[in-house]
Amino acid sequence: MYASRSEVAAVLKPQAVLRVVLVAAICAGLAYLALSQSRFPFALAMLPLMIIAPRLAHLELALVCGVTGITCVAVAMSGFMPGINGGVEMLSDGFQVSVAIIVSTPFMVGLFIKQISEDHARLAETETRWNFALASAGQGVWDADMRNNTVHYSATWKHMLGYEEHELGNDPDLWLELAHPDDVARMAAADRDHMEGRTLEYKLEYRMRHKSGRWIWVEDHGKAIEREPDGAVARAIGSMTDITERKEAEERLMVSAALLADEKERLRVMLQSIGDAVIGTDAENRITFMNPVAEKLTGTTSLASLGKPLGFVYRAVDEETGRRLDEPHLADNRLERTEQNSRALLTRNDGTRFSIRQMVSPILNELNEFSGSVIVFQDFTDARTLQRQLAYAATHDALTGLANRPSFIRTVEDLLDRARKDASHYQLMFIDLDHFKPVNDTSGHAAGDALLQKVAATIKAALAPTDIVARFGGDEFSAVLMSPSPVEGERAALAVLDAVSALEFSWEGQTHRVSSSIGLTSIAADSGEANEIIARADAACYAAKAAGRNCAFVALAGSEAGVAIPMTRVATGT
């Protein structure tokens, strides 16, 4: 065996040199005494070397042994050793072997002892690291010796249960004594299965009683590492980990999952039971839920729709704008709380369309990110029909279907505002029937109503489609002519005069003829207020009636209400 550089450097240090010199001197002196005075010279000469062998480094021991060997040779050559005759007998094989044994045996013993010490040190260091790693990981170790019927429990194993190391012994049944009564049968069965070779390892979760009296959950993981020739386990080793926090977390999750499942079932039952249609979608606008009402309104089943794009069953558009409403989450702001629309039209798979009222709400996850939508909608057909009817009734005359007086006045006001903004011009026409009262008196109000309906249709047909015709009240009609030209207004007045005059109305065998008196005025930025414009048109109509009926007068802007002058007769009916 060669000495390393570090060993040589260590021996050359002053303290080491002094130690080697001192020890070598002592051993050499004792060897001299043993060889010169003792009956057992070689044994006594080797004894000091055997004593110091475990205590010196390899190189130091070699030097001391060498010095001792040289001393032995020197003593023998000097003739101080009894029974040795100088140099001749010294060279005998027996003497040489004896000296070699004195020198080599302590050296070899020292090497062997040091090797054992180093092995033990490495083993102890490895065990220390392993125990530290297990303790850091919160794992306690147990080592069961079936031959001696003992189990060694590590300090961490005992600390896990709240005990100091000296408070628990090595009883092999200790783990069962501390186990929860409800878990003992499972533990014993799992242990038996592994001991009898039916499982490759022992792994089980169970409860153990803490020193404080509470129960903790542990995971026990072990394996047989030695078996007897007959297969019986001779030794097993394993580790135990405290998993109480994990178990408590699992229990909380189970409780939360149960509550969530219960809440989900409540929600499902509620959604199945409500009268509104409900469709749920994911972040990609795919259908995740449909209740029975939604199935009925869309004309498809939930089974056929799940996972499909929303537009597969829900094809909705805005009734007024035509904008698609079946992709609510594609709007600019996906995080809007709700989007309501009561003007939506839904097209079923069979092509039928009906009005719906819908509300779209986004679903946000815990990070406030969009994860889907909920669309709630109702069949709004009847309500929309009623709304239209009410809106129509509020703005139209029930008898003739023309715009009514309030609606017509709002139209005049709106056009006047427009004229003030863009300098546009319009014509206002007032029409009063001539000879209408005799029809009511002779044929009754039913005949009068029928005549008014016919006159309304006649006036509307005589004017342009863009013109607005209204029944202003009784036998009075009015119209807004969208043409800005006064000449066009006069032509329109003549057309109405001729159409009404040509109208023949028969009732119960009696024929009635009527004519009309018309007043015209302009709607422009300088025409004054709406009530003043209406008053001028009414005054012009009164002037036409006073002039003999069946004619039209124009009231110039600036005329006083109720005054026929200045006015111009512009048309006379045939």
Measured distance CA(396)–CA(472) in Å, rounded: 10
DSSP string, 221-233: EEEEEEE-TTS-E
Query: Active-site residue 475, yes or no?
Result: yes
Measured distance CA(511)–CA(451) in Å, rounded: 11
Residue 438 has pLDDT above 60, yes or no: yes
Strands 150-153 and 202-209: unpaired
Place 10 in a pLDDT band, splitting at 50, 70 and 90: low
Residues, the chain: 574
User: Which residues share a beta bridge with 237?
Assistant: 143, 223
The percentage of residues in the chain with a pLDDT greater than 90, rounded to a whole number, is 28
Across 165-169, 328-332, 497-501, which has the greatest mean pLDDT? 497-501
Beta strands in 124-201 (DSSP E): 139-145, 150-153
Homologous superfamily (CATH) of 396-572 is Reverse transcriptase/Diguanylate cyclase domain (3.30.70.270)
- Note the helical H segments in 511-563: 530-546
Asked, colleague to colleague, whether 139-242 and 396-572 share their fold, the answer is no
Place 375 in a pLDDT band, splitting at 50, 70 and 90: confident
Fold annotation for 139-242: Beta-Lactamase (3.30.450)
Number of CB atoms found within 10 A of residue 483's CB:
17
Q: Which of 397, 475, 498, 538 is catalytic?
A: 475
Q: What is the model's pLDDT at position 488?
A: 92
Q: Tell me which CATH code domain 274-385 carries.
A: 3.30.450.20
pTM assigned to the model: 0.47
User: Which residues share a beta bridge with 476?
Assistant: 432, 473
Poorest-confidence range of 205-209, 270-274, 335-339, 438-442?
Answer: 335-339
Dihedral sign from CA coordinates of 369, 370, 372, 375: positive
pLDDT in tens, 108-148: 777 777 777 776 767 655 555 555 545 555 588 888 888 88
pLDDT in tens, 198-218: 998 989 999 999 999 999 999
- Note the helical H segments in 355-476: 381-395, 405-422, 437-443, 445-462
Q: What is the model's pLDDT at position 537?
A: 93
Q: Give residue limits of the domains in the chain.
A: 5-118, 139-242, 274-385, 396-572
